[in-house]
Amino acid sequence: MNNYLKQDLISRITKCLKEENERNSSDSDWTPLNVPFMLAPLVQAMENNPLKELEDHLKEWSIFNVNYCKDETGGYSNGSIDISFYRTRSNKTYADISDITYVIDFNIDDRPWGYCQCTAADEDYRDDKKCCGHGCDWYAPGVSIKKVTNVVRHNWEGDEHDFWEFEDSFYKVNEDLEAIKLEKERAARKKFLEENILEMQKELANL
């Protein structure tokens, strides 16, 4: 990948991750994204791999959006970035959307290399890290880059009433699903009533 496209992509991803941190700064449950930790393997991968298909797509499409998706693995990754592509045409009032999206997953590589016993006398020892950074347990950053192709893009043709007719016919054919749906609704209603009756009985006893 040529240097301009590489630097532009890295800058856009960096900006996106920083904005995600800013947007969630008031959330006490938010763990700030470690931006250099996430970017390090991406930069390394782009230096070691030409990523020709991604480069060609960046050249072909005039606009691309970068969107961060939060980790949903419970801490086993740092989330992902979706890169979607658009282009405008002078004779159209809307943009063309590419059927191809690139997804960058920010992985965490557990490396149990040995309990740290580093001392200040060791070569490369850093006082701020309390470690020399060689041969000790650590979590290393990683990335995987995927090319996702959208096979078809289609929205429901017709109004809501047309959908209701489809829904009714669907449940007639799939009676087992209808029975499961109704049973879940009854169970949820029963639980709600039981909980509220119990609370009202407690309140009545205290009057």
Q: How many CB atoms lie within 10 A of CB 129?
A: 13
Q: List, for residues 27-68, the tens digit of each pLDDT value.
A: 998 999 999 999 999 999 999 888 899 988 888 887 889 999
Look up residue 51 and give its two tokens.
């990523």
The model's pLDDT over 125-165, given as tens digits with 9 standing for 90+, comes to 999 999 999 999 999 999 999 999 988 888 999 999 999 99
DSSP H helical ranges for 65-174: 160-173
Alpha-carbon distances, residue 12 vs 65, 85, 128, 159, 175 (angstroms): 9, 14, 30, 39, 50
Contact 143, 45 (CB under 8 A): yes
Domain boundaries, the chain: 3-149, 160-205
